Copies of this chain bind each other. A is one copy, B any other.
C-alpha cells in the first residue's frame, strides 16, 4: 500500500512537495488526489517542486493520472488521482 495525499486549491505546494518527497523515502509510490482545477494545479506544481527535492538524492519521479470517484460530504465528485512513482 502507499499513502494517499489529498490536495486542495488552498494547499501549499511546497508543503505538499515535502510530503511527497518524504513518502518516497521508504516507499516506491505515493498517490495524490485532487478535485477541481485549482486543486489539480496545486498538485502538479507540488510534483514539479518535489522533483527538485528528489533529483539531488538521485531519484526522479513521474505521475500517472486517472479519474476516480470521491465522496465529498455525501456528494459524489470526479477526482483526479495522480500516482507518483520513481522514474
A positions within 8 Å CB-CB of B: 9, 36-38, 40-41, 44-45, 47-48, 51, 60-67, 80, 82, 85, 87
Contact = CB atoms under 8 A, between A and B. Distances in A.
Given A62-B85, A63-B62, A44 B51 contact: no
A65 B51 contact: yes
Contacts of A64: 51, 60-63, 87
Contact of A80 (B9, B48, B82): B48
A51 B66 contact: yes
A82 B61 CA distance: 12
A41 B51 contact: no
Nearest to A80: B44
